[in-house]
Structure 1
Amino acid sequence: MAAALVGGAPGPAPGQGPGQGQGQPGPAALYVHWPYCRKRCSYCNFNKYVVPAADEAAVRACLVREAQTLLRLSRVPSITSVFFGGGTPSLASPGTIAAVLEAVAGAVHLPTDAEVTLEANPSSASTARLAGFRAAGVNRLSIGVQSLDDAELRLLGRDHTAAEAQEAVKAARSLFPGRTSIDLLFGLPGQSRSAWARGLEAALGLCDDHVSLYQLTLERGTALAAQVQGGSLPAPTQDLVADMYHAARAVLVAAGFRHYEVSNFARKGALSTHNLSYWRAEQYIGVGPGAHGRFVPWGEGSCSREARVQTLEPDAWMQEVQSRGHGTRRRVALSPLEQLEEVLALGLRTDEGITQERWGRFSPQLSLDAVFGVPGEARELQQQGWLVLDGSGLRCSREGLALLDSLLPTLLGQLQRRWAPRRSTTRDGDGGEAAGVVSSGE
């Protein structure tokens, strides 16, 4: 075993981050899932449901109760940000949003300036409705524009027009100046480079200080995937999609946007605090049907970080919340290696990458240099200009960021190989992992 893998004093026990050996859980972000939509878009396979009429009072009561229960189980001292996603959260009433935020503030510290984001569709984003959300406590909007071309919107099965999207963004910017984000899709079947360039130019003339660009993925079971597979629509080539991505990046950077994450661009410091908490592998609590979470349930006597998933189907979820306070369907204690794999896969999505400090919180004895600075594939990626490892940490170069999906398997493999001998030399007499190998990083 190389000395670089070992040196230093023993760290905290597995599952304990700095200070947590003394029972001090850290803060967390909160995600709240509203599962209902007016219609299902042709490309969507998210956990959403189209119903004639949702029992909003019942859903609200369950969101409030589950939030209170999970906050109590986590014992987090504060919530750093709240994100209402879906589904279409802008279909919920401002009263529901206010009730959840009031419950959170009543259970833990919710700073007055904490980022509170709500996803909105243009068809449910009138000025009056958005003003209601602002009064409820929302201070940032993410609007699902997707396209500013009516033909593309019809192809995607969206329930709004380009004109409605423009009006919704204008209304949002008047109420949430500097804090209105828009989503755009590229790589649509039949979409040309010129059509994408025109759409991006139109979006630039409309958008605020944050833009999210997502390559359309043809998911199994969706109407759009069936059309492409059946031959009625042409699938874009990977070269074309790559050209679209690089062209969009160049245009946005020239317009003053920082490319701070694979799909996200911001200017004037308008980065999404909530999404950064995911990419930095911080704790987050998921509330609502199908929501995911990553936190330590200190209230149950545990000191291990868990991956949690709430029950998918809304009616079944509500029954579980009503009977036991929460609808957690699946929970798995993450091993130290699994936590590091998440740190790696998520952190490399950002332009800051994985800082030495953050890696050290999760791995106090196995450093970034010990894993990725030794001879092997990671060093070759550095020599090829795709990856950078220095005193700041590990990150992708500008060119490497666009290739992250192809780089990750190599990097994860190297992490697993470097971790294996470390595990074999830190076993106690009973075959379990000895204390001090790695922390949870909370």
Structure 2
Amino acid sequence: LCTQRASRRSCAAGRGQSLDENLGHPRGSKQPPAPGTRSAALYVHWPYCEKRCNYCNFNKYIPRTLDEGAMQKCLVKETTTLLKLRIPSEIDSVFFGGGTPSLASPHTVASVLETIAQTTHLPAKAEVTLEANPTSSQASRLTAFQGAGINRLSIGIQSLDNKELQLLGRTHSVSDALGTLEEARRVYPGRTSVDLMFGLPAQQVEPWLRQLQELLSLCDDHISLYQLTLERGTLLFAQVQQGTLPSPDPEAAAEMYQHGREILREAGFRQYEVSNFARNEALSTHNWTYWQGGQYIGVGPGAHGRFVPRGDGGSLREARIQTLEPDNWMKEVSMFGHGTRKRVSLSELELLEEVLALGLRTDTGITHQHWLQFEPQLSLWDVFGKAEEVRELQSQGLLLLDHRGLRCSWEGLAVLDTVLLRLLLQLQNAWENRPPPMLKVTESGAASQREDSR
């Protein structure tokens, strides 16, 4: 069972639409556009929370005092610096994550969005998402965030059982969650997503499935199902290690996931990614950029990015990480304009590994055309067409390689970790034995000799 850490039978069949027999979504379903080389997504990290949840090891902090004006100024400054470094023609989507960004003021959100619009092009249709916790998302604030430019909300409901919420260390109740969901659907109709966790200690399959069914009767058009991962350094990890809580049952978690997928498919949801389900084309276009290997800019303490720093004369995509601790990050932004702590140029093989690992998380997988955008000399057929590993996975009904490209079947998505490990090894082997370097067209359009990145 592939877990998420920062990872159905459509009712359309009843409307006379044909189904992809392997994935269960309508043929011809609208797909988000493939990320372009001149566009990018932008992620903004708000690092503060009211309290740390018992399962969370994300980069978040509980402030004794908070100077939001200083944080806002630094977010604006770093956004400007990194946008000028990347020089995108436009920003396709913006995602405010955390932490708990719904604790920030709408004015802070508006300031960042205004900066993006002034520095590059932010289309009116661009998806702008805010993560929200029910306890920090009163009706008036949701409306104020909409006025600031937010047009999509992602609510961390996590459970519809108060005892489970207490186990997770959440600050909201089931009543809080359902009230926020109702209000969010009023303010953001068709653009409200909810998260539900499974695989908790002592959690039983049937009660969890009843939670999912209840949520289905109340939710909008996007649901994310996340399996609990016990992370070292969290309270839940310690409690399980000490024996005060039982270890999560992997068999029960696998059963929850499989039945949950089937329930959502029956309800008309398309599983467009391992943990994400949408109907009425309500896919997250921001996350789709990640899974399609698109470029994205990370702003804020601990944010990650993947982009080519063209404004700095760069030609290779870099993996970037901003300074983790907020006070240190703000000092660096004030001094240098940004708080980038680490930057590593990705080799061609490393980039292809990311394209493979992320693309296979989706139901469409990796098309031949998409792969050739990253590697024009070594096709999917060259890498996987004659591999015994691939033939075996195909015979097991877990993988498909055909005229459309490479993708997991419905069954394969449920065991992606196993499938992916074998494919990554095959990619590495094919790369080591590839033909001699040839002229390659770079992102800038100039022909250059491909360098050996081994």
Q: What is the CA-CA distance between 1:237 and the residue it aligns to?
A: 2.1
Q: What is the CA-CA distance between 1:197 and the residue it aligns to?
A: 1.2
Structure 1 residue 90 and structure 2 residue 102: aligned?
Answer: yes
- 2:240 paired residue number: 228
1:356-435 alignment to 2 at 5 Å? Answer: 356-422=368-434, 425-426=436-437, 435=448
Of residues 132, 144, 149, the one that matches 1:120 is 132
Q: What is the CA-CA distance between 1:406 and the residue it aligns to?
A: 1.3
C-alpha separation between the residues in 2 aligned to 1:422 and 1:167?
57
1:253-268 alignment to 2 at 5 Å? Answer: 253-268=265-280
C-alpha separation between the residues in 2 aligned to 1:438 and 1:275?
31
Contact 2:158 2:195 in 1 (8 A): yes
Of residues 159, 163, 168, the one that matches 2:171 is 159
AA in 2 matched with 1:53:
T
AA in 2 matched with 1:303:
S
C-alpha separation between the residues in 2 aligned to 1:162 and 1:427?
60
Q: Deviations over 1:117-138 (max 9, x none)?
A: 0000000011100000000000
Q: Secondary structure at the match of 1:217?
A: coil
Q: Secondary structure at the match of 2:433?
A: helix
Of residues 299, 321, 329, the one that matches 2:311 is 299
Q: What is the CA-CA distance between 1:427 and the residue it aligns to?
A: 8.9
AA in 2 matched with 1:47:
N
Q: In 2 relative to 1, CA 329–180 (structure 1 residues): closer, same or farther, beyond 3 Å?
A: same
Of residues 64, 76, 80, the one that matches 2:88 is 76
AA in 2 matched with 1:399:
E
Q: What is the CA-CA distance between 1:426 and the residue it aligns to?
A: 2.5
Q: What is the CA-CA distance between 1:375 and the residue it aligns to?
A: 3.0
Q: Secondary structure at the match of 2:48?
A: coil
Contact 1:25 1:298 in 2 (8 A): no
Structure 1 residue 187 and structure 2 residue 204: aligned?
Answer: no
Of residues 120, 127, 137, the one that matches 1:108 is 120
C-alpha separation between the residues in 2 aligned to 1:251 and 1:383?
27
Q: What is the CA-CA distance between 1:407 and the residue it aligns to?
A: 1.3
AA in 2 matched with 1:108:
T
Contact 1:361 1:439 in 2 (8 A): no
C-alpha separation between the residues in 1 aligned to 2:63 and 2:248?
33
The ranges of structure 1 where at least 4 consecutive aligned residues each deviate by more than 3 angstroms after the TM superposition are: 434-440
- 2:145 paired residue number: 133
- 1:252 paired residue number: 264
Q: Secondary structure at the match of 1:321?
A: helix
Contact 1:120 1:142 in 2 (8 A): yes
C-alpha separation between the residues in 1 aligned to 2:272 and 2:387?
29
Contact 1:286 1:292 in 2 (8 A): yes
C-alpha separation between the residues in 1 aligned to 2:423 and 2:450?
21
Contact 2:301 2:329 in 1 (8 A): yes
Q: Deviations over 1:347-404 (max 9, x none)?
A: 0000000111110000001000111111321221112111001111100000000100
Structure 1 residue 238 and structure 2 residue 250: aligned?
Answer: yes
Q: Deviations over 1:386-442 (max 9, x none)?
A: 10011111000000001001111110000000001227x3299xxxxx9454999xx
Unpaired segments of 5 or more residues in structure 2?
1-35, 440-446
Structure 1 residue 58 and structure 2 residue 78: aligned?
Answer: no
Q: What is the CA-CA distance between 1:236 and the residue it aligns to?
A: 2.4
Normalised TM-score (structure 1): 0.91
AA in 2 matched with 1:426:
P
Structure 1 residue 320 and structure 2 residue 320: aligned?
Answer: no
- Bigger relative contact order (CA 8 A; separation at least 6): 1
AA in 2 matched with 1:297:
P
Q: Deviations over 1:249-278 (max 9, x none)?
A: 011110110010000000000000000000
C-alpha separation between the residues in 1 aligned to 2:381 and 2:118?
44
AA in 2 matched with 1:176:
Y
Q: What is the CA-CA distance between 1:53 and the residue it aligns to?
A: 2.6
Contact 1:364 1:438 in 2 (8 A): no
Q: Deviations over 1:129-148 (max 9, x none)?
A: 00000000000000000001
Q: Secondary structure at the match of 2:434?
A: helix
Q: What is the CA-CA distance between 1:212 and the residue it aligns to?
A: 0.3
Normalised TM-score (structure 2): 0.89
Superposition CA RMSD, Å: 1.7
AA in 1 matched with 2:114:
E
Q: What is the CA-CA distance between 1:234 and the residue it aligns to?
A: 1.2
C-alpha separation between the residues in 1 aligned to 2:207 and 2:246?
15
Q: Deviations over 1:86-128 (max 9, x none)?
A: 0000000000000000000000000001000000000001110
Of residues 217, 229, 235, the one that matches 1:205 is 217
Contact 2:101 2:130 in 1 (8 A): yes
Q: Secondary structure at the match of 2:89?
A: coil
Contact 1:279 1:350 in 2 (8 A): yes
Q: Deviations over 1:149-175 (max 9, x none)?
A: 100000000000000000000010000
Q: Secondary structure at the match of 1:422?
A: coil
How many residues are paired up? 411
- 1:217 paired residue number: 229
Q: What is the CA-CA distance between 1:201 and the residue it aligns to?
A: 1.5
Q: In 2 relative to 1, CA 439–308 (structure 1 residues): closer, same or farther, beyond 3 Å?
A: farther
Q: What is the CA-CA distance between 1:25 and the residue it aligns to?
A: 5.4
Unpaired segments of 5 or more residues in structure 1?
1-23, 429-433
